[in-house]
Amino acid sequence: MNFYDSQKITTILESKGYQLQDSPDKADLVVFNTCNIRDKAAHKVYSDIGRVNKFDNKKTIAVVGCVAQAENSEMFKKNHAIDIVLGPQSYHLLPQMIKDLEKKSKLINTEFIVNEKFDYLSEQHRPQGISSFITIQEGCDKFCSFCVVPYTRGPEYSRSIEAISKEADLLTSKGAREIVLLGQNVNAYQDLSLNKVKRLNHLIENLSKNENIKRIRYTTSHPINMNKELIDCHADSSKLMPFLHLPVQSGSSTILRKMNRKYDSNFYKEIIYKLKKAKPSIQISSDFIVGYPGETDKDFQDTLDLVDEMKFTQSYSFIYSSRPGTKAASESDVTPLHIKKERLKILQEKLRNIQLKFNKGFCNKNIEVLIENKSASNPEYFFGRTPYMQSVYIKSSNLKDGDIKNVSISTCNHKSLYGSC
């Protein structure tokens, strides 16, 4: 979502006469779009500001996004070079704030004016490429005990099907062939602008009518919002890809309760089995938090057992990071860091082995790949993705971006497939 937001911010500024530079050294204005989800990401902005400001103290520095929202005016005290602090739901105000710097030296806005932001941004489009993002939903009402999102992005908000379809039309007219629908809780999507509530399955059906859209994906989903209609949509829609990112966080029902995830491990498994029944080819990826306060060896073993049973084909895993203001931050956390690191290593190795085995299953076989671009690192190769989100590097001189090709896979590693056509 930050990538999408950064694109939007760039377009807004370009429409006011700014030019994007390929290096911060050349820029008069540097905008840092920040993530506050883990401690490390939040700290990064201060060292990054120091780096761009090393040679020249005259740049205008704006910090936008979730760190700006969470740390607010404290940011000015922590780093005097910052001129503007702007939350993720009001970044359409950036051009006006830059202007206002002529009259006032430090400016801040951390209001949740998400509907105003989207009204403004509906007009701002920047071609993103063959696979393009559209934010359809933002914010969160779920308040998992470890997470800052409800505080930094605010309550759940969905855009209308009409506005999203218009953005999809524009993106496809500029070459997009795959649309990735984004939201912090994307499957909680609901368009309330019509007489009858329309949900994510309706939006997918609507977008499927656009002939230029070949593939549709959505991320990130919460297990409790995987309703029957959405599960059925995986069976019914030929454009919806057979791959779903459905974060579980832990395999232990005790930890899930402490996390306030609102489901237990059996509920999660049932959802996956229903999805597999509706769409037998579907593959699942997940997020895991290791070392949540009070996680025992047994709880961790439950996570490993869940991974063995579910065979996630891609995943993200993190050590729990205590976030100020969240409920979990006040819980006693006695597990030493070296144990948490060891658990993360064991989990990641297991996930990597499953992913490698899955990828190896494609060797000496053909798979449909949406060609996205020429590989940046090696011009003899094109880059594309399978329906299951695997990266594929294809040796060929005559492919066209946007084509869907049957690629013969010869070799792989846990991250990518390699082939020709």
Residue numbers at the binding site for ligand SF4 (CB under 6 A): 140, 142-144, 147, 149-150, 184-185, 222
Write the CB contacts of 338 (distance below 8 Å, at least 6 apart in sequence): none
Select 61 or 246, whichever has its Cβ closest to ligand SF4. 246
C-beta separation of 316 from 287 below 8 A = yes
Select 177 or 323, whichever has its Cβ closest to ligand SF4. 323
Query: Which option in ligand SAH, ligand SF4, none does residue 150 bind, with CB closer than 5 to 8 A by kind?
Result: ligand SF4
Select 147 or 200, whichever has its Cβ closest to ligand SF4. 147
Give the residue among 65, 54, 55 at the shortest CA–CA distance from 9: 65
In terms of DSSP H, where are the helices of 174-264?
Answer: 200-208, 228-236, 253-258
Query: Which option in ligand SAH, ligand SF4, none does residue 186 bind, with CB closer than 5 to 8 A by kind?
Result: none
**Amino acid of residue 265:** S
Give the residue among 60, 134, 123 at the shortest CA–CA distance from 95: 60
The CB-of-149 to ligand SF4 minimum distance in angstroms stands at 4
Select 40 or 106, whichever has its Cβ closest to ligand SF4. 40
Select 261 or 343, whichever has its Cβ closest to ligand SF4. 261
Task: Using CB under 6 A, list all residues that contact ligand SAH.
Answer: 37-38, 146-147, 149, 184-185, 220, 222, 247, 249, 287, 289, 318, 320-321, 323
Query: Which option in ligand SAH, ligand SF4, none does residue 287 bind, with CB closer than 5 to 8 A by kind?
Result: ligand SAH
The CB-of-317 to ligand SAH minimum distance in angstroms stands at 8
Give the residue among 194, 261, 200 at the shortest CA–CA distance from 227: 200
Sign of the dihedral defined by the CA atoms of residues 233, 239, 240, 242, in that order: positive
d(CA 269, CA 252): 12
Verify cis geometry, omega within 30 degrees of 0, for the bond prior to 296. Answer: no
Query: Which option in ligand SF4, ligand SAH, none does residue 143 bind, with CB closer than 5 to 8 A by kind?
Result: ligand SF4
Verify cis geometry, omega within 30 degrees of 0, for the bond prior to 220. Answer: yes
The CB-of-150 to ligand SF4 minimum distance in angstroms stands at 5
Query: Which option in ligand SF4, ligand SAH, none does residue 318 bind, with CB closer than 5 to 8 A by kind?
Result: ligand SAH
368: tokens are: 């449909």
Give the residue among 147, 87, 150 at the shortest CA–CA distance from 117: 87
Coil, helix or strand at residue 409? strand
The CB-of-148 to ligand SF4 minimum distance in angstroms stands at 7
Select 142 or 239, whichever has its Cβ closest to ligand SF4. 142
C-beta separation of 62 from 31 below 8 A = yes
Query: Which option in ligand SF4, ligand SAH, none does residue 289 bind, with CB closer than 5 to 8 A by kind?
Result: ligand SAH
Virtual torsion, Cα 135, 139, 145, 147, nearest 10 deg = 50
CA atoms within 13 A on the CB side of 106: 11
Coil, helix or strand at residue 17? coil
The CB-of-293 to ligand SAH minimum distance in angstroms stands at 11
Query: Which option in ligand SAH, ligand SF4, none does residue 11 bind, with CB closer than 5 to 8 A by kind?
Result: none
The CB-of-365 to ligand SF4 minimum distance in angstroms stands at 36
Select 33 or 321, whichever has its Cβ closest to ligand SAH. 321
The CB-of-193 to ligand SF4 minimum distance in angstroms stands at 23
**Amino acid of residue 42:** A
Query: Which option in ligand SAH, ligand SF4, none does residue 90 bind, with CB closer than 5 to 8 A by kind?
Result: none
The CB-of-333 to ligand SAH minimum distance in angstroms stands at 12
Pairing state between β 381-385 and 391-395: antiparallel
